[in-house]
Amino acid sequence: MAHHGEVAYTTADGNDYAAHEQTYEGFLALVKYGSIAVIVVLVLMAFFLL
């Protein structure tokens, strides 16, 4: 059986938490602006195609 006494990812050497946060912030920005772009396209389609 595996030993589950200590969580490995919190104590592992080489974790770069600053890079993780930067990547997550980039992902959130991509989702935000991607959603806005989709909404704009749908509004324009509704305006010009109906």
Residue 4 lies in a domain: no
Cβ neighbours of residue 47 closer than 8 Å, sequence gap 6 or more: none
Q: Quote the number of domains for the chain.
A: 1
Residue 28 lies in a domain: yes
Chain segment 2-43, per-residue pLDDT in tens: 666 666 666 666 678 888 899 999 999 999 999 999 999 999
Cβ neighbours of residue 9 closer than 8 Å, sequence gap 6 or more: 15
Helix (H, G, I), strand (E, B) or coil at 14: coil
Q: What pLDDT was estimated at residue 6?
A: 64
Supply the range of the domain harboring residue 23: 16-49
Using pLDDT thresholds of 50, 70 and 90, give the confidence band for residue 45. very high
Inter-CA distances, 22 with 9, 14, 26, Å = 18, 16, 6
Q: What pLDDT was estimated at residue 18?
A: 86
Using pLDDT thresholds of 50, 70 and 90, give the confidence band for residue 44. very high
Contacts 24+ apart (CB under 8 A), 21-25: none
